[in-house]
Amino acid sequence: MSHLDDRIYRDYASWKLETHDLIEKFKEKNSLIYERFEPIIVVLDYIYNQVCDEQGIDDDLKSIFQIGFHYIYEQFELIKIYFEKIFDSDWDDFLEYSELLLYLLFILDFRKDIETSDVEYDEELFSNLEVEIEDMIMDRQNNLTYIHDRVNEVLRQVDEQIDYQYESIVDIFVEIAETLGIFIYEEDTFVVGEDI
């Protein structure tokens, strides 16, 4: 039986077709949203291509694929709701406030990670911050310095309550990509004395 017979790979192919235009637009606009999800997308594409080429994948890669696809699917569903419903599919408006949305996604990820670790903390800290960010998005208040400081303050307060090390799924996928030999953030080499 081919790995392509596994439904998750067919679901991923369908998802890629459905979100292709959205993802390409994020890339074209050099959106921070694409930059955030690029490590996950390239790892998923790498594994998917191995499956399509019938190279065979081990259980670790299959688990990585399942986790990554589940995560990115949920994230893009939320992004699409904001893009289509809150911003009426207006790219300029959406991109102007997308950094606020990224803060919200970060807080949701952090909160979910803590909750799966079964650690007790003041949940209202995150709840209040989520509402504040959502209100700023709805009211088109783009005070990034303020929200950056607020996020750091909440994280500091949570850190005082619990001893917790958070590693985002995006960071994990950057490490996975490097392990697979996929270098996402290759920097241009700068040589002193060369013409700029």
55-96 confidence digits (pLDDT tens): 778 999 999 999 999 999 999 999 999 999 999 999 999 999
Q: What is the mean pLDDT of residues 142-161?
A: 91
Residue 185 is predicted with a pLDDT of 64
85 burial type by CB count under 10 A (0-12 exposed, 13-18 middle, 19+ buried): exposed
Residue 179 is predicted with a pLDDT of 93
Residue 194 is predicted with a pLDDT of 42
What distance in Å separates the CA atoms of residue 123 and residue 108, rounded to the nearest whole number? 12
- Mean pLDDT for all residues in the chain: 88
Residue 161 is predicted with a pLDDT of 84
Residue 186 pLDDT class (50, 70, 90 cuts):
low
The CA-based dihedral angle spanning residues 25, 29, 32, 36, taken in that order and rounded to the nearest 10 degrees: 40
pLDDT of residue 196 exceeding 50, the answer is no
Q: What is the mean pLDDT of residues 28-47?
A: 93
Q: What is the mean pLDDT of residues 120-137?
A: 91
pTM: 0.84
